[in-house]
Amino acid sequence: MRPSKLLIMFVLCWASFSFLFLWGKDQKTITLEEVLSIGCLDDDILYMWAGITTDLKGNIYVTDTMDYSIKKFNDKGVLLNKAGRKGQGPGEFLSPRLIKYFKGLIYVTDQFIPGIKVFDENLNYKYHIPLRIPVLDLKIISHERIFVSGIFLLEKKSIMIIDSKGNIKSDFKYLEKSKDYWKNVIKFEIDNERNLYVIFSFEDKIQKFDKNGKKLWTRNLLEKKKVKKKKLEKVKYGFSEVPIEVVYKDITIDSSGNLFILGGHLSESPGRDVYVIDKNGKYLTTFTLPEPSHCIHIDDHNFLYSRAGMGITIKKYSLKYN
């Protein structure tokens, strides 16, 4: 073989190895290491938890729907406190759902009781924020600026920003005009720069808006697969068909600003696949939870929390970035 041909082959081989090496480096991988498990079949610590949040010390707060209560655990998983019972009075629940910690206060929603109940860190009931709509998601950036998305049937679809008395301070329109009601069902996350990320429950769509409401980007992760729908035969008024699958279940954000999005029925592993994208919408990686979950939460120390055991167990994982 001529030396020139040998040289060309060498250059080609070197180029392809370099490409593979760089490509591999660019593909981030995330592995999970279980560090804590709370609740199991042999105890009655949790009956069916729905929402989860954490404070800066690593204490864990959950809503236990079947126990009509909220519970506080320390970072070792020891139950510290419990509040609530069945009822509609102050501090009582019919079906507690979302729970969010913000600077010493715990905000809790109930499926059947309008508004948001507020507790202190020791789970003492403080006050109630009145609201007319059922809440689908909420985030708190200050005690007087609470972002709420809900079920709007007659009103304009948007994320409302309310104060501690339930007054609407402003709203945030995330949606183009759409007659399809189900496209309005969303969950959202807010980063440190007050940018807002929206995931659509029944559509393969993720969007980012800046703090002034300007849309920065839109992207999808599942090649725009569509959810299955079922026709309602008996209903004469209202919806003629409803979705029976969910595209994205939940969104959370890590300390680096990367978004973690829990996939629903259209994912390869439903309720287990977590897609990671950066703040510019660039896809980074996907990892799979050991068990299906309805939500994910990342705390300030980059621990990820998810469901196991059909709602009787909380799993806490350490995220290893490679």
Partner 1 sequence: MLKGHKSKKIIAFFIVLLIILFIFESPVVLEAVDSDECFDAFEACMTFFSWMMGMQYGYCVSGYVFCLVYL
Residue 93 beta carbon to partner 1: minimum distance, rounded to whole angstroms: 11
Nearer to partner 1, 246 or 304 (CB): 246
Size of the site for partner 1 (CB under 8 A): 39
Smallest distance from the beta carbon of 201 to partner 1, in angstroms? 7
Q: What is the dihedral of CA 142, 144, 147, 152, to 10 degrees?
A: 170
**Out of 145, 294, 309, 321, the residue judged to bind partner 1 by CB under 8 A:** 294
In whole angstroms, give the CA distance from residue 241 to residue 207.
26
Closest by CA to 210, choosing from 194, 189, 186, 188, is 194
58 vs 114 by CB, closer to partner 1 = 114
Looking at 103, 153, 290, 300, which residue binds partner 1 (CB under 8 A)? 153
**Interaction mask 250-289, partner 1, x per CB under 8 A:** x-------------x-------------------------
CB of 228 to partner 1, least distance (A): 11
How far apart CA 306 and CA 314 sit, in angstroms, is: 6
Q: Which residue stretch of 119-127, 150-158, 218-226, 253-261 sits at the interface with partner 1 (rule: CB under 8 A)?
A: 150-158
At closest approach, how far in Å is the CB of 253 from partner 1? 19
Smallest CA-to-CA distance from 112 within 128, 134, 91 is with 134
Residues 53-82 close enough to bind partner 1 by CB under 8 A: 65
Among 30, 50, 123, 266, binds partner 1 (CB under 8 A): 50
228 is an interface residue for partner 1 by CB under 8 A? no
| 235 binds partner 1 per the rule CB under 8 A | yes
Among 84, 91, 96, 311, binds partner 1 (CB under 8 A): 311
Residues 165-224 that bind partner 1 (CB under 8 A): 185, 201
Nearer to partner 1 (CB atom), residue 13 or residue 151:
151
Positions touching partner 1 (CB under 8 A) are 50, 65, 94-95, 97, 111-112, 114, 132-136, 150-154, 185, 201, 230, 232, 234-239, 242-246, 249-250, 264, 294-295, 311
